[in-house]
């Protein structure tokens, strides 16, 4: 397939490019380095530096023989995206090109404005570019489990059958996002659902939980092929943060009671899921929603895993509960369905002791590069 990855420089974007090109697909990545720019501007640089997209593609070609085409530009600009689609005419578009940080979206008015305009604008431009050039292509859009929030009923896979006054219908499962970032993903879904209904677009919405880990089949041990390992409050997801904190001797930053439960997955499994969605496309006029995670954990569970791994590796890991800077439920029911990707063939890699110790081992190599000041700044959700 000809595959266009929007946001191909990101934590999941670049590993996806390698995975799909290794599988024989013809891959182009597009990115405007927004994440790198925000990382630099907010002093949230990753644990180690990685090459830019041209350097990544050159390195990948050298070790694998596969080519990834690189296009640098802003997908929020119609001229750029229009030309990109005209040049590549993709069969599949993977859309990761969003500001992905919940805390950043809550930082101040400017950050909120950037998040809203970028995320909605790129989704809208992508829909318009598909319509103009490749109306039958399949769009695989990265959504988030956080769109659903934490309702007191089971979370279904995208849709809910409702019986009301003796009549039945199917609706998108109610959304109740917990940050402006998560809310932009809800708005994306509504925009996509509208154009699926009126134009018959072919769309898969992947409702992904927080991802952890760094090494994939394609990276091997080569840190020049690896993704960003963020441990800062903006871009670091919680398990990656906790592992770096453990290595740095910094008490694990559990927010509030630590009962916040989410669906987690390793980066390897995120790639498996995206590949399965790409190679088994949604039908025309279908908005297929897949809940993308492998296991649920509370924040306390994750802190426990890191503490145990630390003990095995000779680290003294302590935990410190901090007043929660976010507005979220700290004890709640959480039982989301996640059978769609398993039915497509997902082979989950659970968070075993071996997986934990491997990830901690990788981080230990960069112990001296950890900047403790980056770990916590307490971006508040409250006004
Ligand atoms: N948390 C802590 N301590 C920390 C950091 C986080 O207790 O130092 C807690 C948070 O309060 C939250 C949970 O851990 O309850 C997960 O936080 P996170 O920062 O790992 O995840 P989140 O902000 O929700 O966002 C991440 C990605 C985002 C993706 C989302 C999936 O950054 O792009 O969409 O995970 S989900 O959480 O399912 O919405």
pLDDT tens digits, one per residue of 47-80: 999 999 999 999 999 999 999 999 999 999 999 9
Architecture of domain 2-374: 3-Layer(aba) Sandwich (3.40)
Residues 6+ apart with CB under 8 A from 37: none
pLDDT per residue as tens digits for the range 221-258: 999 999 999 999 999 999 999 999 999 999 999 999 99
Is there a contact between 281 and 138 (Cβ–Cβ < 8 Å)?
yes
C-alpha 238 – ligand 1 centre gap (Å): 6
374 C-beta closer than 6 A to ligand 1? no
Classify the phi-psi angles of 64: left when phi > 0, otherwise alpha if psi is within -120 to 50, otherwise beta: alpha
C-alpha 122 – ligand 1 centre gap (Å): 23
Query: How far apart (Å, rounded) are the C-alpha atoms in residues 245 and 372?
Result: 8
Is there a contact between 233 and 174 (Cβ–Cβ < 8 Å)?
no
95, HSE (Cβ side, Cα atoms, 13 Å): 33
C-alpha 68 – ligand 1 centre gap (Å): 31
Question: Residue 280 pLDDT more than 90?
Answer: yes
3-state DSSP percent of the chain in helix, strand and coil, to 5 = 40, 20, 40
pLDDT band for 383, please (50, 70, 90 cuts): confident
**In this structure, which residue's CA is closest to atom 19 in ligand 1?**
237
237 C-beta closer than 6 A to ligand 1? yes
**In this structure, which residue's CA is closest to atom 34 in ligand 1?**
144
Q: How far apart are the first and last CA of the chain?
A: 47
Tokens representing 45 are 């640089």
- Over range 268-296, report the average pLDDT: 98
20 C-beta closer than 6 A to ligand 1? no
pLDDT per residue as tens digits for the range 76-95: 999 999 999 999 999 999 99
100 C-beta closer than 6 A to ligand 1? yes
C-alpha 236 – ligand 1 centre gap (Å): 8
Residue 51: φ, ψ to 5°: -65, 165
At residue 217, the pLDDT reads: 97
At residue 36, the pLDDT reads: 98
Query: Mind telling me the catalytic residues?
Result: 144, 181, 185
Question: pTM (2 decimals)?
Answer: 0.98
- Over range 289-315, report the average pLDDT: 98
Rounded to the nearest integer, the mean pLDDT of the chain is 98
């Amino acid at each position: 397939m000809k595959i266009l990855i929007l946001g191909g420089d990101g934590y999941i974007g670049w590993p996806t490019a390698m995975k799909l090109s290794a599988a024989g697909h013809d891959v182009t990545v597009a990115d405007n380095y927004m994440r790198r720019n925000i990382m630099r501007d907010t002093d949230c640089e990753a644990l180690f530096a990685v090459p830019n997209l041209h350097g990544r593609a050159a390195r990948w070609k050298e070790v694998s023989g596969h080519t990834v085409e690189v296009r640098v530009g802003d997908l929020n600009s119609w001229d750029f995206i229009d030309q990109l689609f005209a040049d590549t005419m993709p069969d599949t578009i993977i859309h990761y090109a969003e500001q992905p940080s919940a805390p950043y979206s809550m930082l101040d008015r400017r950050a909120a404005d950037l998040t809203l305009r970028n995320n909605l604008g790129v989704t809208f431009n992508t829909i318009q570019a598909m319509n103009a050039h490749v109306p039958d292509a399949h769009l695989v859009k990265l959504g988030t489990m956080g769109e659903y929030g934490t309702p007191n009923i089971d979370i279904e896979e995208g849709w809910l059958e409702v019986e009301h006054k003796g009549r039945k219908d199917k609706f998108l499962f109610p959304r109740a996002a917990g940050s402006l970032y998560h809310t932009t993903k809800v708005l994306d879904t509504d925009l996509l659902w509208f154009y699926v209904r009126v134009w018959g677009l072919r769309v898969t919405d992947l409702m992904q939980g927080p991802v952890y880990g760094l090494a994939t089949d394609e990276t091997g041990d080569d840190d020049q092929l690896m993704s960003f390992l963020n441990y800062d409050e903006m871009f670091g997801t919680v398990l990656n943060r906790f592992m770096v904190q453990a290595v740095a001797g910094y008490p694990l930053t559990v927010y509030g009671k630590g009962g916040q439960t989410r669906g987690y997955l390793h980066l390897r499994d995120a790639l498996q899921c995206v590949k399965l969605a790409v190679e088994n496309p949604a039908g025309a006029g279908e908005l297929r929603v897949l809940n993308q995670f492998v296991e649920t954990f509370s924040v306390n569970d994750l802190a426990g895993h890191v503490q145990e791994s630390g003990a095995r590796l000779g680290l003294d890991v302590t935990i410190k509960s901090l007043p929660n800077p976010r507005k979220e439920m700290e004890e709640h029911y959480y039982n989301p369905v996640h059978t769609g990707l398993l039915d497509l063939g997902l082979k989950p890699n659970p968070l075993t002791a071996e997986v934990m110790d491997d990830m901690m081992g990788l981080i230990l190599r960069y112990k001296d590069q950890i900047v403790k000041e980056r770990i916590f700044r307490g971006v508040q959700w409250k006004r």
